[in-house]
Amino acid sequence: MFRIFRREFTMLAAAAFAGAVAAGSTLAPSEAQADDPVVLKYSAVFPDAGAQANGAKQLGVFLEEYSDGKIDFQFYPSSQLGNKIQSLEGLRNGSIEMTEAAASDLGNFSDLWSIFSVPFLFNSGADAIRVITDPRVAELLNKDAEANGFKIIGWWNLGERSIINSKRPVNTPEDLDGIKIRVMQSPMLAKAITAMGATGVPMAWSEVYTAVQQKTIDGLENSPPVIASNKMYEVAKFYSLTQQFIIPDPQMISLKVFDSLSPELQDAILKAGEASQEDFNAKWEEAMASDMQTLKDNGVEVNEVDKAAFREAVQPLIDEYLSNASPETRELYETIIKVRDEG
């Protein structure tokens, strides 16, 4: 059975751990004894509870099942091996085998992925999965991911991201005036939230709860399951359904590690990724409903918004982004819009 690691690591210890792995304290897959299971460490910023944690654990079950026990899946939640950027760097150099991240996080390695920071790009989370798994879109994304050291094995629907804050309900862009909202570490996300009327503050996820609690920021934007599993309802009580970002999460393995494995194990990993995608996304809508109720049960006030006003507010930003985008990014955007509108 795969192992879940709950030890708390300081950043220094996490770096030392990754360095030790890279130096050879754990045998790389290509060096492992034939009878030894291949260790795949899965680094996550989310806690060891909630929809994402359940999904990661189930992925571990699928990996061990499809590999007939030849894979030892080890789950490290709560940023034990580092934040998202550090985990992605670990995948690139092979010191960490697996992780998940918001698709926009890959924008730190390739401008192409900044497309997922464009507000109101998809109609819903489920629609986003349909679009990005269409062969026309998947080909463009997979090619770029692998050029940067990441092998995508599946996609999770992380729903529609809305604004939760500690000050007041938000109905129009004017209501965001003077409110500081955490966004993921992407300039485009910060610009979009600022265009909507707030001040976008890029920040690592591990810092967000304390930052809201200490009033360094006023809130954040995310989906109900993520907000609930991280207990953000304890520090912010107004959830407004702006739904400006729909950013699915790719499940990834280090391409360096993947290429070192036998064809048999590569096939097992791809099958496990496909099974995880199907399983997680089937359960997501139920999690969205139940965790929205969790927010309400914990005193969060939920309200609809004038979404047309927010769309209008960000349109100049989208136009500017596309005018400055590379030909490859514009091709991806046009392909996404074509596939989206076909649905």
Mean pLDDT by 10 residues, the chain (343 residues): 53 40 42 76 95 96 98 97 96 97 94 95 96 98 98 97 98 98 92 97 95 98 95 98 97 98 98 98 92 97 98 97 96 98 93
d(CA 340, CA 170) in angstroms, rounded, equals 28
Residue 151 and residue 7 share a domain: yes
pLDDT, residue 246, reads 96
Residue 63: domain span? 3-106+135-157+249-289
d(CA 40, CA 75) in angstroms, rounded, equals 9
Q: What is the CATH number of the domain that holds 231?
A: 3.40.190.170
Count of domains forming the chain: 2
Residue 218 and residue 85 share a domain: no
Residue 88 and residue 68 share a domain: yes
d(CA 95, CA 296) in angstroms, rounded, equals 41
d(CA 325, CA 212) in angstroms, rounded, equals 34
- Does a structural domain hold residue 128? no
Q: What's phi and psi for 303, nearest 5 deg?
A: -140, 150
Residue 238 and residue 257 share a domain: no
b vs e for 101-129, b when ≥16 Cβ sit within 10 Å of the residue's Cβ?
bbbbbbbbbeebbbbbbbbbbbbebbbbb
281 and 126 Cβ atoms separated by less than 8 Å: yes
Q: What DSSP designation does 49 have?
A: S
Residue 272 and residue 174 share a domain: no
pLDDT, residue 343, reads 85
Answering whether pTM is above 0.95, one says: no
pLDDT, residue 7, reads 42
